[in-house]
Amino acid sequence: MPRWATLVEIAGVSFTGCRAVIQDAQPFKTSYRGSGLPSADGTPYVQRINVGVKNITFGINFVRADADKLSDVLTAIQAAEAAGTPFVVEYTDALYTINVLVWPDYDQRWYTHGPESEGMIDDVTFRFLSVANNP
């Protein structure tokens, strides 16, 4: 059973009373990344770096969302891109509290959606690439 979001805000547009879930958010649980490699003499060499929230790709999936609000989000994202500044994504559910500056994740299909009916759009997904914590 999914954990529905209690707060979703994308580029200044708030979604309330909607069913949304975070995708691929596990890297937000720790700010450390690391690798374990053998050193020249064969002993393990482990390196850990605190990278914060940089370069985390994640998504937010809405079961159903208001078409006008989605249009506002897309307009705000275009404005941020034209200005050359990342935009804020906030997401809160029972497990995650995320408040980061992001860009759309152009390595993937960053915005997808299903059919529209009665001013609502089904199965909307945004994919993002985080660049920093929101100050």
Per residue in 16-39, pLDDT (tens digit) is 878 999 988 777 776 555 666 777
Tens digits of per-residue pLDDT, 91-110?
A: 998 888 889 999 999 888 89
Is 60 inside any structural domain?
Answer: yes
- Tokens 């580029």 belong to which residue? 11
Is 128 inside any structural domain?
Answer: yes
What value does the mean pLDDT of the chain take?
86
What's the pLDDT score for residue 51? 53
Is 2 inside any structural domain?
Answer: no
How many domains is the chain partitioned into structurally?
Answer: 1
Alpha-carbon Rg for the chain, nearest whole angstrom, is: 17
How far are the Cα atoms of 4, 59, 88 from residue 63, in angstroms, in the given order? 10, 13, 21
| Domain housing 20 | 7-30+39-133
Is 23 inside any structural domain?
Answer: yes
pTM over 0.95: no
Asked whether the predicted pLDDT for residue 118 surpasses 80, the reply is yes
Is 107 inside any structural domain?
Answer: yes
What's the pLDDT score for residue 129? 92
Is 129 inside any structural domain?
Answer: yes
Is 17 inside any structural domain?
Answer: yes
C-alpha to C-alpha distance for 110 and 107, rounded to whole angstroms: 8
- Comparison of pLDDT for 75 and 44, the residue scoring more: 75
Is 64 inside any structural domain?
Answer: yes
